[in-house]
Structure 1
Amino acid sequence: MGNVQVRTRHTPAFGVARLLLAPGEAVQADYDAMLATSFGVLIDLRPKGRGRGYSAVFTAPAEGGWVDLAPSLPGEVYTVELDGLGGWCVARGACLAASVHVRQDASWQGFRPMFGADHGFLEHVSGQGAVVLASCGALDVVNLEAGVAITVAPTSLVAYTEGVQTRLRAVSQSVNQSIRTGEGLLLDCAGPGQVFTQTRRAEAMAAALS
């Protein structure tokens, strides 16, 4: 269960993830991220709602197969393996693909101290199998020891391990704030755990490339 193998190429600038599927194995991803598949891979499209395009489940045929995926903006792809014990908190849009045995939950109870009953700029992933993350620009890994803390701009955040302690606060009361985008907010992170950040901001890069 959840034994998807991931091979990456063209990193760190233009990352592509090739997901190698055993016979009958499946992965879930945003359909717009698909570049190509081996012949015979079954693609099951599922509307995301409100005109937001489609998610897809890719299932390998009897002989197995592969799926090539890439983020819409230049950057790196990085794989984390979930063992069924601890999860990750991932910035919305940063999860490029995941095993079908991985649960993605924007309403995770652990977010309530930060977001209340609303959906914020994070989702929680748990279960067993591979999760492929995409960063805008290069991906930095920060290893936090117990008691060590950093402050991250939410727009630069990719993911952090479930055990990291977090606090969300305003940069200033004089600027607009949004828990859905992280605008005008700062995220304090305290170890132990890992924090992944990206070296470019998606909005700025998209504007520069348009």
Structure 2
Amino acid sequence: MEFRVNHAPVFSTLEFSLAQHEYVVAQPNSMLTMSAGISISAHVGRLDSDDETESSSESSNEQPSSAAETPSARRRPRNSWFGGIKSMLGGESFFTAEFRAKSDEQTVVLAPESYGDIVVLSLDAESGYYLTRGSYLANIGTTHVRIKYGGLKGLMSKKGLFLMHATGRGHVFCQAFGAIEHRQLAVNETLYVDNRFMVAFSDTVTYKLVKASESLKDSLMSGEGLINRYTGPGDVYFQTRGKPTGGILTALIDAAF
């Protein structure tokens, strides 16, 4: 499988070239175009939300896979209504879409709903990422994308009660609003990021919700309120624009948190 990000960084699209039986798992309503040899199926919740199943098509950014996946080698997901509910609480869709090639030389092009760049996260056995609310676009390879309980800390940091945790081998693609900034944090190196702008960060990075200033008055009156402090080692990806707020009440909540 091959993939390519086109039209970056503002009107980015994500193009896949698939051999027979290879497939892409994606956010519903993200397909821009596809060739005639692609079949679409829908699943409730994440494709492997709680049952250890995998989306198992081998992938590479430059080279096509050496062998097509056979039907007997595929592990099919089990629909999970609870997984769908958790996905919604995590800021994602109740359903997951699967685009599978019925023959060789098929293409699928995905278009994010945001006007911005696409982040390509490479996963291996020793690396994983947390995805923030609404940032998930697609995944390929033997990847596990699960919904994990984030607790009150996740809710107060505007990541929601549930976070998406991506592990395995392959690639996960995130949609962003604006351009993408990438920082690689050394051990004990810290970075403060406004909660609205974070897209994804390594699971080796720890984060803590803190006041933007020592003074609560200065934190609130500056419009920053509470922000996240990220501590390395690991990578953090954040966007250069925050999505527009949904009204006065949302703006007041954003100012406080």
TM-score bucket of the superposed structures, by smaller chain: 0.7 to 0.9
Corresponding pairs, count: 193
- 5+ unaligned residues in a row in structure 2: which ranges? 46-83, 248-257
Query: Counterparts of 1:135-174 in structure 2 under 5 Å?
Result: 135-169=176-210, 172=216
Aligned to 2:30: 33
Change (3 A) 1:60 1:104: same
1:78, CA displacement in angstroms?
2.3
C-alpha distance in 1, partners of 2:184/2:152? 24
- The structure with the larger Rg is 2
Give aligned-pair identity as a percent: 28
* Range moving further from structure 2, 8-17 or 127-136: 127-136
Matched, 1:8 2:2: no
Change (3 A) 1:155 1:63: same
Instruction: Kindly indicate whether the alpha-carbon contact (under 8 Å) linking 2:141 and 2:171 is maintained by their aligned counterparts in 1.
Output: no
Aligned to 1:93: 134
Aligned to 1:57: 98
Matching residue within 105, 108, 114 for 2:153: 114
- 5+ unaligned residues in a row in structure 1: which ranges? 176-182
1:194, CA displacement in angstroms?
1.0
C-alpha distance in 2, partners of 1:56/1:186? 33
SS for the counterpart of 2:17 is strand
Q: Indicate the RMSD between aligned Cα atoms, in angstroms.
A: 2.9
C-alpha distance in 2, partners of 1:170/1:60? 49
1:53, CA displacement in angstroms?
6.1
1:46, CA displacement in angstroms?
2.9
Matched, 1:188 2:235: no
1:160, CA displacement in angstroms?
0.7
Look up the equivalent residue of 1:190 and give its one-letter code.
T
Spell out, residue by residue over 1:108-153, the C-alpha distance to the aligned partner (whole angstroms, 9 max, x if none): 6xx458349x953631111111111111000000121122101111
1:157, CA displacement in angstroms?
0.2
Change (3 A) 1:191 1:102: same
Change (3 A) 1:165 1:82: same
Aligned to 1:82: 123
Spell out, residue by residue over 1:172-201, the C-alpha distance to the aligned partner (whole angstroms, 9 max, x if none): 5997xxxxxxx9542110112111010111
1:39, CA displacement in angstroms?
1.2
Aligned to 2:21: 24
Spell out, residue by residue over 1:70-122, the C-alpha distance to the aligned partner (whole angstroms, 9 max, x if none): 111210012122113221011122111102632222216xx458349x95363
Structure with higher strand content: 1
Q: Please give the TM-score of this superposition, normalised by the length of structure 2.
A: 0.66
SS for the counterpart of 1:155 is helix
C-alpha distance in 2, partners of 1:88/1:95? 11
Instruction: Kindly indicate whether the alpha-carbon contact (under 8 Å) linking 1:148 and 1:191 is maintained by their aligned counterparts in 2.
Output: yes
Q: Please give the TM-score of this superposition, normalised by the length of structure 1.
A: 0.79
